[in-house]
């Protein structure tokens, strides 16, 4: 890594965010890893005691995207901007669970922590209504989610604006489990686009998802917001790293039908219905599924053993990532480790099965492509991810 790259990476960490979460991985290293230690999510024995079944609980949320919703709501005096956070918090759970083969009958509990001085009853109503709307959209596509309740806590001493988190539970048959620990050499990597407009979506999706929003917010948005909304960022953050961009929320995003604010708050796309159809059409053919969230395009390095992941046919950069890149404040290497950069879900299968995967995606008007392949690393060596784009190459070593 060059000196400039190190400085850019340090600036990102200085914003209070880690792309690799190495400290988190060390903290949980001694935790039991469940029935399938290499799986994308921890899988537990069935609480009902059926040996043919298993279960998983998963917790995640909208992250600092909630700070963007706060800015938009204040700027537009419209609490409805909070509603989309519910889909973000739900999908970040369900689509992680999708990676172990779970496609239906989810149970959801939501957790909202707010500063009541800034997040009023209208904002809460928008959030809770957002869950109902997201669940309804999934139901229309044949995916069933049951809301079991939740907790709304007034924690103004800890939270500046609002946190929107969820916990999801699901049971599934053991013969349906997809174990990412079984990813090995000789497979095609099929990427599912994060941007555009697939069947069932009401408008263009920017592809931002719910990862890297701290970086995206400060790298894109104008210093005006630093002065007007100091409560929207951490008081531990150096002011010269807060809101360093050129854009205001209502500025058009170049190359898109969305404004900057709309693009940053674009709801996290769910791949549940389309991957459900893929798994039904290709039983036993999908060897692994990776949700490219925390860790971005390097996320896959944590799965399988003795694998080099070569991604040499990535999607063109969606406009939101082009805008972040054009600011010049973060290296291309770091960008690919923070953001999904064009595809947020990837399936691992044979070259023959890949054609059928692409065919199912077309029925959903979802852009998909073979973005790369897997091969063996040197015996005993750690996993590796190699990203190739525009004549450049970046390598990310596994933690082994």
Of the listed ranges 9-13, 271-275, 396-400, the least confidently predicted one is 9-13
Question: Does domain 42-176 match CATH 3.40.50.620?
Answer: no
Q: Domain locations in the chain?
A: 1-31+178-400, 42-176
Q: How confident is the model at residue 2 (pLDDT cuts 50, 70, 90)?
A: very low
- Taking only the tens place, the pLDDT of each residue in 318-344 is 999 999 999 999 999 999 999 999 999
Mean pLDDT of 7-32: 56
Across the chain, mean pLDDT equals 93
| pLDDT of residue 17 exceeding 90 | no
Q: What percentage of the chain exceeds 70 in pLDDT?
A: 92
Report CA torsion sign: 301, 323, 204, 212. positive
1-31+178-400 against 42-176: fold identical = no
Backbone phi, psi, residue 330, to 5° = -145, 140
- DSSP per residue, 328-388: -SS-HHHHHHHS-TTEEEEEEE-HHHHHHHHHHHHHTT--EEEEEEEEEPSTTPPPEEEEE
Residue 3: its pLDDT value, please?
Answer: 45
Backbone phi, psi, residue 193, to 5° = -60, 145
- Taking only the tens place, the pLDDT of each residue in 302-321 is 999 999 999 999 999 999 99
CATH superfamily of 1-31+178-400: PurM-like C-terminal domain (3.90.650.10)
pTM of the entire structure? 0.92
Residue 24: its pLDDT value, please?
Answer: 55
Residue 378: its pLDDT value, please?
Answer: 86
| pLDDT of residue 98 exceeding 50 | yes
């Amino acid at each position: 890594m060059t000196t400039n790259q190190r400085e850019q990476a340090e600036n990102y960490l200085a914003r209070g965010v880690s792309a690799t979460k190495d400290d988190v991985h060390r903290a949980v290293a001694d935790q039991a890893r469940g029935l399938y230690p290499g799986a994308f999510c921890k899988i537990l024995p069935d609480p009902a005691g059926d040996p043919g079944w298993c279960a998983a609980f998963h917790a995640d949320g909208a992250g600092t995207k909630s700070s963007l919703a706060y800015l938009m709501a204040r700027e537009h005096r419209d609490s409805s901007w909070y509603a989309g956070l519910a889909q973000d918090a739900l999908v970040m759970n369900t689509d992680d669970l999708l990676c172990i083969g779970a496609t239906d009958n989810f149970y959801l509990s939501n957790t909202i922590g707010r500063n009541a001085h800034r997040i009023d009853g209208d904002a809460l109503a928008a959030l809770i209504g957002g869950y109902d709307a997201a669940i309804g959209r999934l139901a229309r596509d044949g995916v069933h989610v049951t809301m079991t309740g939740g907790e709304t806590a007034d924690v103004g001493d800890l939270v500046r604006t609002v946190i929107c988190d969820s916990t999801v539970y699901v049971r599934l048959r053991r013969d349906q489990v997809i174990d990412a620990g079984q990813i090995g050499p000789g497979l095609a990597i099929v990427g599912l686009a994060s941007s555009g407009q697939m069947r069932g979506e009401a408008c263009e999706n920017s592809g931002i998802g719910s990862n890297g929003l701290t970086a995206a917010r400060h790298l894109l948005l104008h210093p005006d917001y630093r002065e007007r909304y100091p409560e929207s960022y951490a008081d531990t953050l150096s002011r010269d790293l807060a809101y360093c961009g050129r854009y205001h929320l209502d500025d058009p995003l170049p190359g898109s039908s969305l404004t900057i604010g709309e693009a940053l708050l674009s709801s996290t796309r769910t791949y549940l219905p389309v991957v459900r159809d893929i798994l039904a059409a290709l039983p036993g053919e999908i060897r692994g599924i990776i949700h490219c969230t925390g860790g971005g395009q390097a996320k896959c390095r944590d799965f399988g053993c003795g694998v080099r992941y070569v991604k040499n046919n990535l999607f063109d950069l969606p406009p939101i990532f082009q805008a972040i890149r054009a600011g010049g404040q973060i290296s291309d290497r770091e960008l690919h480790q923070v953001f999904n950069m064009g595809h947020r879900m990837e399936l691992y299968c044979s070259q023959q099965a890949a054609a059928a995967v692409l065919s199912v995606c077309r029925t959903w008007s979802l852009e998909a492509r073979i973005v790369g392949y897997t091969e063996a690393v040197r015996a005993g060596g750690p996993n590796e991810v190699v990203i190739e784009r525009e004549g450049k190459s970046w390598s990310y070593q596994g933690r082994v």
